[in-house]
Chain A
Amino acid sequence: MATTAFEPIISSAWGKPNSWTLDEYKKRGGYKGLEKALELAPAQIIDEVKKSNLRGRGGAGFPTGLKWSFVPKDSPKPKYLAVNGDESEPGTFKDRYILENDPHMMLEGIAIASYALGVHTCYVYLRGEFKLQAERANAAIKEAYAAGIFGKKMLGKDYQLDCYVVRGAGAYICGEETALLESLEGKKGWPRLKPPFPAVVGLFGCPTVVNNVETLASVPHVFTRGSAWYAGLGTDKSGGTRLVCLSGTVNRPGVYEVPLEATFTQLIFDDKYGRGLPAGRKIKAVIPGGSSAPILSPDELDIAMEFEAVKVKQTMAGSGGVIVMDDTTCMVRSLWRVARFYAEESCGQCTPCREGTPWQTRLLRKIEEGRGEPGDVEILSNVASSIAPYPPIGLGNTICALGDAAALPTHSFLMRFRDEFEAHIREHRCPFGDKPWGAFGEWS
């Protein structure tokens, strides 16, 4: 239960003039967290982050302080920090708002993390398409160098930190932490087998922490206001607030900062968030955490959008991408769209994923176009199972979780909407005709 009154902390400056500049950031107390952290020993900083209950915001929700503590302290090798800004899972679009509106908040988190971990070089890996976001991050880094935050002395302390932005080139897989490291090393983004984990063998074979943009933007608040305050904002197992991305058929899609206890129903219907569905529409299904997360039905939405609560429903809060589908939406076409994404983005390293993801896509297209035959649904289910069985989540047959991510939606759509798939096959057409997405927005 939250013991601290909710207030937006990550998004508080969004939309304000020049919010991305150092001047504006300092006016609202920017870099005070770094000053406070620098009064502590590195081990104490990691302890504070542990006490804050901050969990990674990239999707897996792993406790950040614990992740930091896995870095060997006595390694003779250099250590690295890699920031994961390769945001690209359908439904997820929060990090770009941080990078656009408040890059210094992330940079302050980078400085604190680097000092705590003994890192002297940090790479901020941004998805290639993020032009404006890369420009803002680069400009902020330049300001941070000029202000003596990065460079030879961190706020006058004898500690050097260099920070560089690296832009990807349009491969979703590079958001997977080991693929990201391969890409940073100048290679194609093929995920590595784990263990060893990056904290021990990461970039250039050296200990490396990979943290999401939002995770690092959360770190300064742990120090400006204290770890107890930060933990008090959240639930027993998860501190702070959360950015949630709302998209699909709602009246007001967008990124909203919410208390961890907020429910899906509140996000979709509250006036300060999504403001409900267009007149006459009902919810058919909701994807709770990015396109890979198994769907929730309308009667399951009164749960908190928090890692543990969502896990109970055998799905995941993931990266906070909530996609709403209304009752005029064709589920076969929706799954086809999602399946295409994973087929396009499979790196090709593991056979079940390389062969299975396009197979799913071909079958779904066939069914959606009215060419489905009896038995196709079973084949589809088998193909998905060969990539990753369901449940449990996270035990697929591939090196990385992209295989799981590709199979989970298929399992969950089939489990809940099998009759719709069968109807397509029986009627030799899409029951939703030429309006599989309903009539919504100007283009429909």
Chain B
Amino acid sequence: MAEPLFTPEEQKKFDAEIAEILSHYPADRKSAAMLPALRLLQELKGWLPPEGLKLVASRLNVTPERAYEVASFYVMYHLKKPGKYTVDVCTNLSCSLWGAEKMLAYLEQKLGLKAGESNERFFLRETECLASCGTAPCLQINEEHHESLTKAKVDAIFDKLP
């Protein structure tokens, strides 16, 4: 038998939060809750497993294909299980003027990954602007934002990760 998608606690949290999210929209517009519902699923599972997409779709009265269409459009949803930490490094113009390309090269070496690659612990990727141009260079680890980065700061951040 396949493993259930959620633990009982996760299921409880999912049910309660989905109900709250749906209450924000008109009763005949359940499908509008797609983005927050996918976010909730990802928060619980770390990614969007196919059976989770099916569950979200059923709660929102849409087809699983529709849920997949939305999930695959946005970069913050993971359709494959990523490493424990998704590291988004901004290399756009303002950050690059402050050395972001070199910071990325340093991280590639430090983590033993090329941008775009993932291992069990890290998924390293270049990202397009984190709205932190005045405090460049910057990166995000999962949802935690770090800015005005120096080599020492980068080392300290990664050394502290559990």
Contact = CB atoms under 8 A, between A and B. Distances in A.
Interface of A: 78, 87-93, 95-96, 123, 127-132, 162, 164, 166-172, 183-189, 204, 245-249, 253-255, 287, 291, 321, 323, 325, 329, 333-334, 337-338, 340-341, 344-345, 347, 437, 440-444
B45 to A, nearest CB: 15
Contacts of A325: 97
Given A128-B74, A248-B97, A291 B134 contact: no
A169 B134 contact: no
Given A128-B76, A187-B34, A87 B96 contact: no
Nearest to A127: B131
A352 B101 CA distance: 29
A129 B43 CA distance: 14
Given A129-B140, A341-B129, A437-B97, A166 B36 contact: yes
A129 B131 contact: yes
A253 B133 contact: yes
Contacts of A253: 94, 133-136
Contacts of B81: none
Nearest to B137: A443
B16 interface: no
Contacts of A321: 133
Contacts of A443: 98-100, 102-103, 106, 137, 150-151
B35 A183 contact: yes
Contact of A167 (B36, B70, B88, B129): B36
Contacts of A188: 69-70, 73-74
Interface of B: 24, 26, 29, 31-36, 38-39, 60, 69-70, 73-77, 88, 91-94, 96-103, 106, 127-137, 140, 143-145, 150-151
Most buried by A among B60, B73, B130: B73
Contacts of A96: 131-132
Contacts of A444: 98-99, 102
B101 to A, nearest CB: 7
Contact of A186 (B26, B33, B102, B130): B33
A186 B35 contact: yes
Given A90-B93, A249-B97, A189 B131 contact: no
Nearest to A334: B93
Contacts of A168: 35, 74, 76
Given A253-B94, A441-B99, 14 more contacts: A87-B131, A90-B133, A92-B131, A96-B131, A96-B132, A169-B35, A169-B38, A186-B70, A188-B70, A248-B133, A287-B93, A337-B93, A338-B93, A441-B97
Given A129-B76, A131-B145, A186-B31, A92 B69 contact: no
B149 to A, nearest CB: 8
Contacts of A245: 133-134
Contacts of A254: 134-135
Contacts of B102: 443-444
10 contacts: A88-B131, A96-B131, A128-B74, A132-B145, A164-B24, A169-B76, A171-B74, A185-B31, A248-B133, A340-B128
Contacts of B36: 166-167
A31 to B, nearest CB: 24
A170 B31 CA distance: 19
A169 B60 contact: no
Contacts of A347: 73
Given A96-B131, A255-B134, A321-B133, A248 B94 contact: yes
